[in-house]
Structure 1
Amino acid sequence: MKIRLGVIGDEACIKIVEEISNEYPKFSIRYFTFNTREDTVSIIQAQEDETDMWLLLEPCAYLYVKEWGGSRKPLFHIPYRGASLFKTLCEIFYNANLAIQDISFDTVPYNDIKRGLAEMNIQCGDTIFVNDFCVQTPVNEVFQYHYDLWKNSKTKAAVTCIDKVKDMLKEAGVPVYRVLPVRLSIRSMFYNMLREFDLQIVKDAQITVQVFEFCILTDDEKVYSTDEIYNEEIKLTQKLIAYAKKVRGSLKSVGQGKFFVFTTRGLLKYITDNFSAIPQIEEFEASEHKLIACGIGIGLSAYEAEFNATTALRNAKRYEKGTWMIVFDDKTITGPLGKKEQLTYSHFSDELQSISYKTSISVATLSKIVGIMEKKKSDTISAQDLAQYMHILPRSARRIIARLEECGIAIEAGEENPNPRGRPRKLYCMKLGQA
């Protein structure tokens, strides 16, 4: 079976990859060019089901896709540092005879350039012109950075990793050099992708257990005989057998509305859209029996997977009915699946254990707060937002924040007013990652 690889880049980068790709017959490669960073997302959305992994050849496109976070397939990129940067600098020093202070850079981090120059025994002092590129930086702004330095005679040339910036600078008359991936880096990346694919096959074969808990007695007002209860269990079991066949698993009933399905990680990953959604299951939709919750456990053994599934079920039951949660083999927890509040967090952290001891807040709760802040991509939050994400009352969220505030972990950082007619909400800066 060939690995379906999607490669996104500009024509210059793609040409270099094409020269190397013949050495790797395990890959079936499709190439895509783009004009803007936004194009990369459109390409991935259109081709996601036809691809096993993605290789993005331009750093800004890779960062944009990573921040978008919508791809379910492994993403790879070739860093434009090390050998790629050295090759460009050697070309400049040999052909143009310029000093490092005569050049402006973008995309490559300042410290990487400093380290690279130190390895080449080049004294650069503190004057290196580097654009602090981030994924939100418009291409025009990167161009303007280089152009202004050159126009004001502070530099004599520009080094860029962005093809469009190179074209704009060239048109403006600025001497420009493009950092391109070197063949050694490309070969190394192909090797890494092969390893990742092999590891993924092993991972997808991991034992996975689902534990479902149903409400067998659908009418609280009715008095059921033992025969009627048994009959309801049989009807539900038949539907779960049909579901187990779909995920190529086996079913085990343990009574009291609990059923275990043993399958593999790869199949569960597929039906849950890479552990991000509750699947549409025909057997459940047609059932009059209400699903209380579902826990998914992944482990290195059947025992570990079953234990993790039970833990996931216990966590899922803290939310509304029908919630799905997952506990992975590294003890991270994800859920509720398919909800806006879906988080990934871990119970295991020495730092959080220390904070838990000081605040009397459980590690599980602290882990959830860390997951919420990462999901929000912010270090500030209001008590109302915390309550919404954690499915608790606002007064409970305020109580948690108050305890963190006493220990200097939550710091009041201003106010927000989402409703002009309402009272402003206090914002708190969380220092959980720095405690």
Structure 2
Amino acid sequence: MKIRLGLLGAADSFEIIQSVIIKYPEIICMPIECLTEEDLIKKVTPLLEEVDMWLCTGPITYKIVQDWKGIEAPVFYITYTGSTLYKTVLQVLYEQKIEVDEISFDSGNVATWEQALHEAGIKTKPRFVESEIISLEGLVQYHFELWESGQTKAAITGHPIHHELLRLGVPTYRTLPSTMAVEAVLTNILRTYEMLHFRATQIAVQIIEIDSFVGLIKDTFSTDDIFRIEIKYMEKLLSYTKKVHGSIKSSGFGRYVIFSTRGLLQDITGNFSRVPDIHEFDQASKEAVTCGIGIGQTVYDAEINAGNALLHAKECGKSTWMICFDDKKIAGPLGKPEQLTYSYTSEQLESVSQQTSLSVITLNKLKSSLKKLSSDEINSNELANYMQISPRSARRILTVLEEKGFAKVVAEEKPHTRGRPRKIYKISHF
């Protein structure tokens, strides 16, 4: 197992970090000096496919990476606590001959800095701590204004804020990572990689049904003709099966089962966010394909989950793809704006289910719909769209919840065309 680890941040931190990484033969380190978003675009973008995980030298670099949103792989950062912090404070106190409450801090909350000072035997508490990394410019301004107004006499921060404050004349010191902090984050990286690797090798089963096959069967009387049609579809699916390094078998007229692994399927579906393209199928054939994907520790578990996913897909109509994970969560329809992720079980929703006679799955779909809308208010048309049911069924669900005290009407919308006003329900106790 070799982990390709991209190291991002200020170059003066690399030596400390790499001196620890060298003790981990399973990690290949790729140091890349990045101080701005422009650096990330220029230096990191070409390497996105070559790096498994990323490590930032500190929270400020991590903030820049998170704001950029260009990295999909896991990103970690080294935290500054304990000796890392109080060592810097002691240096400031010794060199500047000042008190702790005359220093401005960032890259940590008040409790973190107080704990570090307590470990160093310093009882004075810090007065000026910016716990939020608002922006690089904002942090520079925060420290500079305190110093310029005479409230502070020095600042402790990270790179590149450190460099900018020095340019402005502020006595500034920066924290550097400790070997213990580096070892802690490397241990976390190794565990995460093992977990992701394990998940990627889980069994994935796809049960594909081609709806148009049934129509062809009705018009075909020869067994040989039926067999030829089946072989034709099998051949078209073979090249797709090769893409996922899987195997395929026929499971009855118009139904095929493909076996592969979670990692490969995750790649071609964009982390299960879209339907994979079967190039050999024309548009009409693609629209006739319904698929259930199952993930499991064994082939048996994965097939059971694939069957459940297929049932949910059929409820939404043909050309729908759904997935059932090993934790029994359902996601889908893949590739559609109304894609939801919901669970079979929930102790809280079990109680609601017993009081309303609505199934836990229905309640979980409703809960996921609200999460998708980022609201606790919904109307029947929105619910129908997300749950792929009729507006009438959606109205019935909302009415039942209202009757049992889990929803209340908070407003009414007048439709653009003729018709009765749509009630907007506020959902509670979920």
Instruction: Kindly provide the amino acid, as one letter, of the partner of residue 338 in structure 1.
Output: G
Count of paired positions: 423
Whole-angstrom distance in 2 between the partners of 1:61 and 1:398: 49
Q: Offset of 1:392 from its aligned partner?
A: 4.7
Q: Deviations along 1:250-292, whole A, 9 cap, x unmatched?
A: 2232214222112222222232233333222223348847543
Match of 1:207 among 203, 210, 221: 203
Contact 1:84 1:180 in 2 (8 A): yes
Matched residue SS, 2:334: coil
The residue number in structure 2 matching 1:7 is 7
Where in structure 2 are the equivalents of 1:74-153 lying within 5 Å?
74-118=74-118, 122-123=122-123, 128-134=127-133, 137-153=134-150
Q: Give CA deviations for 1:121-180 in whole Å, capped at 9, x if unaligned.
A: 65456x64222425xx3322222222222233333322223x232222222222222222
Corresponding residue SS for 1:73: coil
Q: 1:187 aligns with which of 171, 183, 186?
A: 183
Deviates more, 1:53-62 or 1:404-413: 404-413
The secondary structure found in structure 2 opposite 1:255 is: coil
Distance 1:100 1:19, change over 3 A: same
State the superposition RMSD in angstroms.
3.9
Contact 1:347 1:367 in 2 (8 A): yes
Output the TM-score relative to the length of structure 1. Answer: 0.80
- 1:261-272 matches, cutoff 5 A: 261-272=258-269
Residue 293 of structure 1 contacts residue 313 of structure 1 at CA under 8 Å; is this kept in 2? Answer: yes
* CA shift digits 1:83-116 (9 cap, x unpaired): 4334333433444454433232223133433444
Show the 5 A alignment for 1:9-408: 9-37=9-37, 39-40=39-40, 44-63=44-63, 65-66=65-66, 71-118=71-118, 122-123=122-123, 128-134=127-133, 137-161=134-158, 163-217=159-213, 219=215, 223-225=219-221, 227=223, 228-285=225-282, 288=285, 290-357=287-354, 361-371=358-368, 378-379=374-375, 382-383=378-379, 388-392=385-389
**Are the aligned partners of 1:244 and 1:251 in contact in 2 as well (CA < 8 Å)?**
yes
Supply the distance in 1 between the matched residues of 2:399 and 2:106 (Cα, whole angstroms). Answer: 43
**In structure 1, what residue type is equivalent to 2:186?**
F
Question: Higher mean Cα deviation, 345-354 or 111-120?
Answer: 111-120
Select the structure of larger CA radius of gyration.
Answer: 2
Q: How many angstroms does 1:193 deviate by?
A: 2.5
State the Cα deviation string for residues 334-369 of structure 1 (Å, max 9, x = none): 333333343434333323334444555543344345
Q: Partners of 1:269 and 1:22 in 2: how far apart? A: 32
> How far apart, in 2, do the equivalents of 1:256 and 1:75 lie?
46
Change (3 A) 1:123 1:289: closer
Structure 1 residue 51 displacement after superposition: 1.5
- Range with greater deviation from structure 2 (230-239 or 355-364): 355-364
Q: Secondary structure at the match of 2:30?
A: strand
Check 1:27–1:400 CA distance in 2 against 1; reply closer, same or farther (3 A cut): same
Cα distance in 1 for residues equivalent to 2:108 and 2:327? 33
In the alignment, the residues of structure 1 paired with residue 253 and residue 216 of structure 2 have an alpha-carbon distance, to the nearest angstrom, of 15
Structure 2 Cα separation of the partners of residues 221 and 230 of structure 1? 10
For structure 1, which segment, 406-415 or 42-51, has the greater mean C-alpha deviation from structure 2 after superposition? 406-415
2:99 and 2:427 map into 1 onto residues whose CA distance is: 45
DSSP-derived class of the 1:308 partner: helix
- Provide closer, same or farther for how the CA distance between residues 187 and 251 of structure 1 changes in structure 2, counting only shifts above 3 A: same
SS of the residue corresponding to residue 193 of structure 2 reads helix
Compared with structure 1, are the counterparts of its residues 372 and 289 closer, same or farther at alpha carbon in structure 2 (3 Å cutoff)?
closer
Contact 2:7–2:55 under 8 Å retained in 1: yes
Distance 2:69 2:157 in 1: 25
Counterpart of 1:171, as a letter, is R
Q: Judging changes above 3 Å, is the alpha-carbon distance between structure 1 residues 60 and 295 closer, same or farther for their aligned structure 2 residues?
A: farther
- When structure 1 is superposed on structure 2, of 384-393 and 325-334 the one drifting more is 384-393
Rounded to whole Å, the distance in 2 between the matches of 1:260 and 1:379 is 39
Asked if the contact 2:144–2:170 (Cα under 8 Å) also holds between the matched residues in 1, the reply is yes
Checking the alignment, whether the CA contact within 8 Å between 2:82 and 2:115 is kept in structure 1 is no
Unaligned regions of 5+ residues in structure 2, if any? none
Instruction: Rate the CA distance shift 1:53–1:107 in 2: closer, same or farther, 3 A.
Output: same
Aligned-partner residue type, residue 9 of structure 1: G
Distance 2:40 2:243 in 1: 34
Q: Specify whether residues 400 and 38 from structure 1 end up closer, same or farther in structure 2 by C-alpha distance, changes over 3 A only.
A: farther
The answer on whether the counterparts of 2:378 and 2:424 sit within 8 Å (CA) in structure 1 is yes
Change (3 A) 1:193 1:410: same
Over 3 Å counting, the alpha-carbon distance change for 1:63 and 1:298 in structure 2 is farther
Q: CA deviation at 1:212?
A: 0.9
Contact persistence 2:212–2:285 (CA under 8 A): no
